[in-house]
Amino acid sequence: MDTAATVQVSGMTHVYVSDAQANPALENIGLTIRPGEFVSLLGPSGCGKTTLLSIIAGLIRPTRGQVLINGREIVSPTSRVGYMLQQDYLFPWRTIYGNAVIGLELLGRLNKETGAYVDHLLEEMGLAAFRDYRPAQLSGGMRQRVALVRTLAAKPELLLLDEPFSALDYQTKLQLEDLVVQTLRSRGKTALLVTHDITEAIAMSDRIILLEPHPGRIRREIAVPEHIRRTLPVEAREKPGFHELFHEIWQEFERMGGKEAET
Ligand code: ADP
Ligand code: MG
């Protein structure tokens, strides 16, 4: 099993400042993620999910607060953290293999051994036959699988996933949810998924952190029941208690909508 990260976010506040105004995006966020845990950040658009992920990835310096990964502060991007986005950002002129190894290349770590690991990942994701194809020859779901291989290639301790399924059709999205959970679980990776999709959050994660907007704050934490957690996302949707939990979170969303209407 690979190394997994403990993530500690404390006193995290972020204000976007421009000439005309200050936009408080996050206010006093604190959270801890255990090694191997899969946590979802769930909330409506604009509640600061992407901002929080960008800070954890070291892409934005927060106004206040800090992020520790295995006790070390994150102040700039690092290969210890893998980041997967809604868009796959594959280079059209490179082959699938060429795209999958690009992170390793940039780190100066592409060699026989790491290259073979990438081929192993491509095989595991059902992409071995497409190794020498170009991205344009692949479907959206396959391209996201390539993006997943690229993210895993440098063996990050933590995976950050920012709505990686939201541009896919429903069936492809469900298949990829299963594949991601299976892949991360078998390696014991720590993962933080951003989504506005309640069903996806319940089906994929061990724990859900519900954020509210304006400014982004933690509203509630929800532990997903053990019997739902144990199964893969597609099957999880059929488990007793799933719909009740969906309904409970849905109502919380409705109340947040009310909060927004007041302001
Ligand atoms: P989410 O991912 O939950 O939709 P974001 O983190 O993208 O939320 O945005 C949180 C808030 O910060 C929103 O009000 C958004 O308009 C604002 N925001 C995001 N990025 C910037 C930026 N680069 N400059 C100014 N404001 C921003
Ligand atoms: Mg976002």
How do residues 191-210 score in pLDDT, each as one tens digit? 999 999 999 999 999 999 99
Position in ligand 1 atom list of the atom nearest CA 52: 6
- Decide if pLDDT at 82 tops 80: yes
| pLDDT at res. 131 | 97
What is the signed CA dihedral for 94, 100, 103, 108, rounded to 10 degrees? -80
**How far, in Å, is the centroid of ligand 2 from the Cα of 163?**
7
- Decide if pLDDT at 149 tops 70: yes
Position in ligand 1 atom list of the atom nearest CA 162: 2
Instruction: Give percent of the chain above pLDDT 90.
Output: 90
- Decide if pLDDT at 263 tops 60: no
23 lines ligand 1 (CB under 6 A): yes
DSSP state of 137: G
The arithmetic mean of pLDDT across residues 222-246, rounded, is 96
Note whether 31 and 61 are within 8 A (CB). no
- Decide if pLDDT at 174 tops 50: yes
Q: Which residue has the tokens 């400042």?
A: 17
Average pLDDT, the chain: 94
**How far, in Å, is the centroid of ligand 1 from the Cα of 241?**
33
Instruction: State how far the Cα of 230 lies from the Cα of 252, in Å rounded to an integer.
Output: 25
| pLDDT at res. 207 | 98
50 lines ligand 1 (CB under 6 A): yes
**How far, in Å, is the centroid of ligand 1 from the Cα of 135?**
30
- Decide if pLDDT at 258 tops 80: no
What is the signed CA dihedral for 85, 33, 157, 66, rounded to 10 degrees? 80
- Decide if pLDDT at 156 tops 80: yes
At 17 the three-state DSSP class reads: strand
210 lines ligand 1 (CB under 6 A): no
Q: Which ligand is nearest to the CA of 25?
A: 1
Task: Return the best residue to mutate from 27, 49, 51, 166 for the ligand 1 pocket (most ligand atoms within 8 A of CB).
Answer: 51
49 lines ligand 1 (CB under 6 A): yes
- Decide if pLDDT at 259 tops 60: no
Instruction: Give percent of the chain above pLDDT 70.
Output: 97
* Residue of minimum CA distance from atom 7 in ligand 1: 50
| pLDDT at res. 1 | 63
Cβ atoms within 10 Å, residue 86: 17
47 lines ligand 1 (CB under 6 A): yes
Instruction: State how far the Cα of 77 lies from the Cα of 55, in Å rounded to an integer.
Output: 9
53 lines ligand 1 (CB under 6 A): no
Note whether 113 and 180 are within 8 A (CB). no
Give the pLDDT band (50/70/90) at residue 159: very high
| pLDDT at res. 4 | 86
Specify the DSSP element, H or E, that contains 195: strand 190-195
pLDDT tens digits, one per residue of 16-73: 998 889 999 999 999 999 999 999 999 998 999 999 999 999 999 999 999 999 999 9
